[in-house]
Structure 1
Amino acid sequence: METPNEFDEIRPYNNEELPQIYEELISDQAFQNAMSYAMPGIPFEAVANKMRSCKTSLEFQKAFSAEFLWGIARKHTDGLTFDNSALTNQELSYTYISNHRDIILDSGFLSILLLGIGKETVEIAIGDNLLIYPWIKKLVRVNKSFIVQRGLSMRQMLESSARMSRYMHYAISSKGQSIWIAQREGRAKDSNDRTQDSVLKMLAMGGEGDIVERLLPLNIAPLSISYEYDACDYLKAKEFQLKRDIEGYKKSTQDDLKNMETGLFGFKGKVHLQTAACLNDKLLELDRKQSKCELFTQISAMVDKEIHRNYKIYPGNYIAHDLAAGKKEFADHYTAEDEKHFEEYITGQIEKIDLPEKDVAFLREKLLTMYANPLSNYLAAL
């Protein structure tokens, strides 16, 4: 099936385009350097030959991405678990909309867990602000990513959002391809996960009919991603202080790279992914006579509730909640040893923060909030 030309700028590469893209990557010195870092001890010529043997994006993912991600899971987590039993129709293609903790691993872990149960990997929505080198942009499109364009004028943003929505509808209905998208632009620094109405408005730009009729073909499945430890927590806390102390502070490209690297190679403890049921039945129950604004607010709340109630809650979440509140409300959910270990962890993360005017009390409060918020939202959802 031929993909409409209007998507050429943003879509993943088609299989017939891969040989040319492989050669462009293989001849790029920056890509060679990245591969020697990611796959130490393997001659680049062997990497190049293996790439050339991959005839499809899925073959490339199985040969490279899955191997790399399972390596990350083995070395930098205490185990990766998945429960998608709520999706009763396994033949459908879904739009997995999830909370967002890690730039690369949220969608990457979902894909390898789907592969592990014999399913197709997802196509991934990724912001072009992260594609800071030409080779990264090519590699993510080989790896079944489509591009979310950022930093546009209002008119350009509307056009770009409408095109992306049409692409997502096309991917689900014509390609039979599941999709992953974050519930908001950027990660929730304080782990207070909330769906942005703008994401749902974008999804509803494609298709035909009213809002509900446009969303139904996307088969939206809320996905909860729970990391026992957020490897980037100390970087997020540092950013909170910088934003507090420096008016108009913005992260640099180097900061984004540091976040990607730390997210990949930092310790994450246990990691659990859990899907809720597809939202279609709930969407059909909505009162469509409401204003569009009210409808989107209701649908966002619906997604949030499903994500929150499917979190995996770890001892650290209970401990952080108690420490932040100065109470022992959840003491039966952890041991004295758990508490000691978590306190040492938080102290160790604060020690990693390199700021000349380090506000330890403020940073500690921010870190505790990051770990307490998932529990607060979980309890509210129940």
Structure 2
Amino acid sequence: MTETMNRFNDICPIPDSNVRETIERLIANSYFRRATEAFVKPLSWEQFTAVMSQCRTKDDFQRYIIYPAMKQLIAKTTADMSGAGWENIPEGIGTLFISNHRDIVLDAAFLNMLMIDKEKPTTEIAIGDNLLIYPWIEELVRLNKSFIVKRGVSVRQMLEVSKHLSEYIYDTVNRRAQPAWIAQREGRAKDSNDKTQVSLLKMLTLHNSSDPAKALQDLHIVPLSISYELDPCDYLKAKEFQLKRDNPGHKKTEADDIENMHTGIMGFKGRVTFRFGTCIDQAIREIPAATGRNELLEQVASIIDREIYRNYTFFPFNYVAYDLMTDTGRFSSQYTDEDVSKFNAYLQKQIEKINIANRDDDFLRVKMTEMYGNTVKNHLEA
């Protein structure tokens, strides 16, 4: 482990030997206190930091600090949280979970709550350095078993940075037999049209670029489908669609990222389901050996996408949205007239939260409908 930490100390989670001093720095940081104090109630700050000070390892920190806080959050912001397809996780080896991406912060956090409940090892979590707005956030996420994906680098540095990350993920999954999680693409699919980026798979093969098929098999990839009944950030995503439509050069600000994170964490999500698909090792073996690198990566991306689409969980709003998108009644047996009224009222309530010049309600309604209907569309195609 020490060798790994020395080689990858710029991106890896904090080593257990440094947990205690990291916690001391966080407790002394007024910004950390300001951001955290409301989450830890009914504990007082003194009670919370006393428990935090007892943690000696990252697993301690997850079990005694993150787990209770997340359980409280889950109780407040979801109607139900469940996992399925546990039998698809290979036993006795490391695994790389590749999933669709719904929430900036919570996708991996919820996954690890389910892992703890099942008495399985928690995953190491890929997180982009664009979200590490303050130094204390980087310390906090690395304490919570996150490893850093460097995005703010020059084109010249990108290959070196990507190879370093690839070697770290291989070391984690294959040599240390630890599970890891990474989203199928950089950033969330704003319209829920989930597609695995070929560039992600290319990065994952760089630890053994001469044999990309073996490089991917060595990671024992398990596609994971994440389904939220409601997306608290749907109106923020729709707002971004209109801003980009009206001004193609529009870029999100740091304040926008913070608003998305806060809304995603605190907003109501309804029912949430994580469903593990089948490990794709065998599917990769079946790709002809003569297949070129680029075509191989395209085929593997399609394999992952099909598994994710196949394993979505659907709720009445998804079926209503699909039928509205396609102007059909294909799934009318899956919802009631009341569900249609609720969906339309929900969209209007979300649109009312959008405060921009020349707000285009019809456009925003279409974009939000797509967010809820595209998962059904992709499931049917798979």
Superposition TM-score tier, normalisation by shorter sequence: over 0.9
Aligned residue type for 1:379: L
Q: Are residue 239 (structure 1) and residue 258 (structure 2) matched?
A: no
Match of 2:162 in 1: 161
What residue is the counterpart of 1:341 in the other structure? 342
Query: What does the per-residue CA deviation read over 1:211-252, in whole Å, with 9 as the maximum and x for residues that have no partner?
Result: 111111111000000001111000000000001112310101
The CA deviation at 1:329 is 2.1
- 1:95-126 Cα distance to aligned partner (Å, 9 max, x none): 00000000111101111101111101100000
Preserved CA contact (<8 Å) 2:93 2:174 = no
The residue number in structure 2 matching 1:67 is: 68
1:126 aligns to what SS in structure 2? Answer: strand
Q: Report how far residue 305 of structure 1 moved.
A: 0.3
AA of the residue aligned to 1:255: D
Distance across 1 between alignment mates of 2:367 and 2:193: 12
State the alpha-carbon separation in 2 of the partners of residues 101 and 350 from structure 1.
19
CA shift digits 1:9-29 (9 cap, x unpaired): 100011001111111111111
Q: After superposition, where does 1:34-73 map in structure 2 within 5 Å?
A: 34-73=35-74
Range with bigger deviation, 58-67 or 138-147: 58-67
Q: How far did 1:88 drift?
A: 5.5
* Matches of 1:173 and 1:345, distance apart in 2: 46
1:110 is matched with which residue? 111
- The residue aligned with 2:85 is 84
**How far is the alpha carbon of 1:208 from its aligned partner?**
6.8
Matches within 5 A, 1:246-265: 246-265=247-266
CA drift at 1:174: 2.5
Normalised to the residue count of structure 2, the TM-score between the two structures is 0.97
Compute the displacement of 1:42 (Å): 2.9
Cα gap change, 1:296 to 1:22, in 2 (>3 Å)? same
1:183-194 alignment, distance < 5 Å: 183-194=184-195
Letter in 1 for 2:304: V
Shift of 1:209: 4.9
- Alignment match, 2:146: 145
Spell out the pairing of 1:1-382 with structure 2 (5 A cutoff): 1-4=1-4, 5-87=6-88, 89-207=90-208, 209-381=210-382
Give the 3-state SS of the residue equivalent to 2:320 in structure 1: helix
CA displacement 1:295-342 (0-9 Å, x = unmatched): 110000000000001000111111011122333221111111111111
Structure 1 contact 222–278 (Cα < 8 Å) conserved: yes
8 Å CA contact 1:131, 1:137 repeated in 2? yes
Distance 1:88 1:128 in 2: 29
8 Å CA contact 1:76–1:267 kept in 2: the answer is yes
> How many equivalent residue pairs?
381
8 Å Cα contact 2:89/2:222 also seen in 1: no
Equivalent residue letter for 2:292: S
The whole-number CA distance in structure 2 between the counterparts of 1:281 and 1:91 is: 17
What is the CA–CA distance in structure 2 between the aligned matches of 1:112 and 1:41, rounded to whole Å? 20
In the aligned structure 2, how far is the partner of 1:251 from the partner of 1:32?
A: 27
8 Å CA contact 1:86, 1:277 repeated in 2: no
**Does the 8 Å CA contact 2:129/2:152 hold for their aligned counterparts?**
no
Residue aligned with 2:309, SS: helix
Cα displacement (A) at 1:3? 3.0
2:90 and 2:279 in contact (8 A); partners too? no
SS in structure 2 at match of 1:226: strand
| Letter paired with 1:2 | T
Once the 2 structures are TM-superposed, how far is the Cα of residue 84 of structure 1 from its aligned partner? 2.6
Q: Which amino acid aligns with 1:221?
A: V
CA distance in 2, matches of 1:91, 1:174: 12
2:94–2:176 CA contact under 8 A, matched in 1: no
- Which whole-Å deviations, capped at 9, do the CAs of 1:184-226 have from their partners, x for residues lacking one? 0000000000000011011111147511111111110000000
User: How far does the alpha carbon of each residue in 1:1-59 deviate from its partner, in whole angstroms, 9 at most, with x for none?
Assistant: 32332301100011001111111111111011112122235332222221110111011
Q: Structure 1 unaligned runs (5+)?
A: none
Query: Aligned to 2:251, what secondary structure does the other structure show?
Result: coil
2: CA distance between counterparts of 1:3 and 1:104? Answer: 29
Alpha-carbon separation, structure 2, partners of 1:183 and 1:20: 34
Aligned-pair CA distance for 1:348 = 0.8
Secondary structure of the corresponding residue to residue 91 of structure 2:
coil
Q: Report the Cα distance in structure 1 between the residues aligned to 2:326 and 2:291, rounded to whole angstroms.
A: 39
Give the drift of 1:91. Answer: 2.4
Q: Distance in 2 between matches of 1:156 and 1:50?
A: 41
Is the 8 Å Cα contact of residues 99 and 225 (structure 1) preserved in structure 2?
A: yes
- 1:292 maps to amino acid: R
CA contact (8 A) 1:35 1:44 kept: no
The alpha carbon displacement at 1:86 in A equals 4.2
